Amino acid sequence: MLEIRNAVKRFNVGQPDEKTALDGLALRLAAGEFGIVIGSNGAGKSSMFNAVSGALRLDSGQVLIAGDDVTAEPVHRRATRVARVFQDPMRGTAASMTIAENMLLADLRGQRRGLGRGLTAARRRLYGERLSVLGLGLENRLDSRVDLLSGGQRQAVSLIMAVSSQPALLLLDEHTAALDPRTADLVMAATVQAVQAFNLTTLMVTHNMQHAIDHGDRVIMMDAGKVRTEIAGDARRQLTVPALVELFAVKTDAMLLSVH
């Protein structure tokens, strides 16, 4: 479960280019709920994600994950509960290390790392099984360096790394935006499968209106650093792409274009 209370973040305070990134943002996501965040550039989506992951310190307000106030915790402490997949496939993996080593790093997320052997036979088997879900044959390439994979394959590995330790909260930051349409669909399908299988509390940012309609329990539209509209239940089921685009007063063309 995620709760954001009255979050405020301003940049360059007192200077001519002062910018309010988060302006009293409030958001609640129940355990197991899948929220889709949409909004134009500068609406505060990235700031919200950074505030939740710990990369951004709030000026005021609180972030609660699974009922605990994590506002003061740095990124590596929050990693116990939060997993994040970035838009850029390069950011989520260690390129010069092997697939199996990357899986190990994610497997031990938030746990105490000791002087025991890292890649045991049992772990390698487990990671192979986890990767085989993708159907990309990556389970046979456990000892390949990640920089030998395509962007789509890397992103698929990032996703498996993020979900397999069953985090209390999964953040998907436009994670299919940099991929070609076919790979994007594959990664999206794997995402939905994992979120359902593990009943993960998930927040996903997307500019793809079709994805926003097809997936998730609730559409959250952000504007000017706060939640402007939330659509759930019956209204959410009847939602169409044109209707959703209608909600955007600005940058409508860009949104329509990104439907396909």
Q: Where on the chain is the footprint of another protein (CB under 8 A)?
A: 53, 75-77, 79-80, 83-84, 90-97, 101, 104-106, 108-111, 113-119
Nearer to another protein, 2 or 221 (CB): 2
Look-up of token digits 């790394």: 161
Smallest distance from another protein to CB 196, Å: 24
160 in Cβ contact with 131 (< 8 Å): yes
Structure tokens at 69: 């106030």
187-195 long-range contacts (CB < 8 A, ≥24 apart) are: 187/152, 187/155, 187/156, 187/159, 188/215, 190/133, 190/134, 190/156, 190/159, 190/160, 191/159, 191/163, 193/133, 194/133, 194/159, 194/160, 194/163, 195/34, 195/163, 195/170
Nearer to another protein, 51 or 244 (CB): 51
Smallest distance from another protein to CB 151, Å: 15
Pairing assessment for the beta strands 202-205 and 34-38 based on DSSP bridges: parallel
Smallest distance from another protein to CB 228, Å: 29
Smallest distance from another protein to CB 73, Å: 11
Nearer to another protein, 8 or 119 (CB): 119
Q: Cα 217 to the chain's mean position, in Å?
A: 15
Nearer to another protein, 19 or 77 (CB): 77
Nearer to another protein, 57 or 76 (CB): 76
Element (DSSP H or E) covering residue 68: strand 68-69
Smallest distance from another protein to CB 103, Å: 10
